[in-house]
Every structure is written in structure tokens, then in C-alpha cells.
Amino acid sequence: MERMGMGSDRLALPALGADPSREYRLGIMGGTFDPIHYGHLVTAEEARDALDLDLVVFMPAGSPAFKAPERVTSAEDRYAMTLLATSANPAFDASRFEIERAGTTYTVDTLRALRAHYPSNVKLFFITGADAILEILSWRDAHALASLTTFIAATRPGYDMARAAEVVQSSGIGFDVRYIEIPALSISSTDIRRRVAEGKSIRYLTATSVIGFIKKNGLYRQDFSERVDEVRGVGGDLS
């Protein structure tokens, strides 16, 4: 795909918006992707189909705002797995945009940068699961977020979408949210990491290329309490 702007090739964003007579619809699938799994891929594909998106860009967060850094796999490994999982779909792309940015990753910063980068005929859609929507009022600068994007909220097993809609509605902030029902996939990155640590199969939970990457690089062999102990040099249970 043709690239434009942002200086270096690796920071580049997909080129969109060249024809001023039409609207372009860009989906942004944000996540920690530690690792990426079929829940993410199905959600993005359903969002693309339901909202007629031209492209969905998967954007691994560099330093996720709500996750302890010592518990998160390196941004490079998470990006590599995201690239592997998305490469077969011409309507999907993986971006280094957030992992190249220093400091905590806030979606409002990303959306401001994208808004400044693209012409006004490119409409931005931020794709999230119901769990993320439930927390959206605690995201940085929620008011600004609401003015920068349309959210696509996807159902996720174990999370109450009606409650999420209520949270958004009663906030008084003018969020534009489209709710989509996706085929239920009760998959989480947490469960995949736990399975690997316990020596269980993760086949059919994520792409075979991602499974290969996890094995080859020895990711997730230790469970998190051990990983945190190692980083901090302590022996006790930190949970």
C-alpha cells in the first residue's frame, strides 16, 4: 500500500483521502495485543463490514495507559505479532505509530495526530470491545476524544454492552458510538499467556504465524508473577 507523510517510512501511515469528492473511512483498532488473537481479528473484520471501512489499522499501544509496564511484552514483539496476524488481509494494516511515541500511550494523542495528518474527507473510527467502552470515562481527556472520532463498540463475552451504553449515555459527553454485535469469541490475551505458561495448546485461538512467533521467541513461558519477581528481584507473590 502506498505510504505518505510522517517522515520515516517506518512511521508512515496509510495514504488515504486523495480524492476530495469522496469520503474515506479509516478504522483504528487499538490494543495491547499481547498477543493479538482471533477475538481482535473478528472484531476488526465485523467493524469493517458493518461500517463500510476502507481500511482498519491495528495500532499496538507503546506503553498502555492501564497496564503495568513490567507485565507487558516488548512493543517490538507485540508489533511483530500484529503484523504477522494482519498481513493476509488487504483491508488490514499494522502501524508502528504508537510504539514509536515515548511515554504513556493515550488515544487522544493518537487521534489528534491522525486528525492533523489526514484531510477532512477521512473519517476516523476507533474500534473497541465492550470492556474498553465501560472504562472510557477514565481515559485521558474524554471530552476531546468524543470530538475526534466515532467509536465502534463490539460485544465481548463476559462484558455487559447495555451497561456500557448506559455509561456512555449518562456521561453527558457527546460520544458518537456505533454498537455492533460480533460472533462471540471468548478469547483473551490473558488466557493465551496463561495457557502457554501452563504448557497448554493455543491452537485455533490465534493465527498459526503468531503461535510460531510465540514458540520461536519463548514468549509467555513464565506466568506473570514470576516475570514480575524477576524484574523486581523479589521472591514473593505480588498479585
Beta-strand (E) ranges in 35-95? Answer: 55-60, 92-94
Q: Of 3 and 140, which CB lies nearer to ligand NCN in the complex structure?
A: 140
Phi-psi label, residue 103: left if phi above 0, alpha if psi -120 to 50, beta otherwise: left
Q: Is 124 in the site for ligand ATP (CB under 6 A)?
A: no
Closest of 211, 153, 221 to residue 182, by C-alpha: 153
d(CA 32, CA 30): 7
Contacted entry of ligand NCN, ligand ATP, none for residue 187, CB cut-off 5 to 8 Å set by kind: ligand ATP
Cβ-based nearer residue to ligand NCN, 108 or 214: 108
Q: Nearer Cβ to ligand NCN, position 23 or 135?
A: 135
Question: Can you tell me the distance from the alpha carbon of 154 to that of 15, in angstroms, rounded to the nearest whole number?
Answer: 26
- CA 156 – CA 127 distance, rounded (Å): 12
Measuring CA to CA, which residue among 105, 122, 173 is closest to residue 4? 122
CA distance 208 to 84: 9
Residues that bind ligand NCN in the complex, under the rule CB under 6 A: 30-32, 61, 64-67, 105-108, 132, 139-140
Q: Does residue number 105 form part of the binding site for ligand ATP (CB under 6 A)?
A: no
Pick from ligand ATP, ligand NCN, none: which does 65 bind, CB < 5 to 8 A by kind?
Answer: ligand NCN
Map the footprint of ligand ATP across residues 74-103, applying CB under 6 A. Answer: none
- Residue 32 dihedral angles phi and psi, to the nearest 5°: -80, -35
Work out what residue 106 binds among ligand ATP, ligand NCN, none; the CB cut-off runs from 5 to 8 Å by kind.
ligand NCN
> 105 touches which of ligand NCN, ligand ATP, none (CB within 5 to 8 A by kind)?
ligand NCN
- CA gap 75, 100 in Å, rounded: 9
- Residue 194 corresponds to which cell in the numbers above? 496463561
* Residue among 21 and 186 whose Cβ is closer to ligand NCN: 186
Stretch that binds ligand ATP, among 124-132, 195-203, 207-215, 221-229 (CB under 6 A): 124-132
| Cβ closest to ligand NCN, residue 35 vs residue 64 | 64
Least gap, CB of 14 to ligand NCN (angstroms): 17
How many angstroms separate the CA atoms of 44 and 65, rounded?
Answer: 21
Q: Which three cell numbers stand for residue 8?
A: 520515516
Considering only residues 54, 100, 131, 223, which one is a binding residue for ligand ATP as defined by CB under 6 A? 131
Instruction: List contacts with ligand ATP (CB under 6 A).
Output: 31-34, 39-40, 43, 128-129, 131-132, 154, 156, 185, 187-190
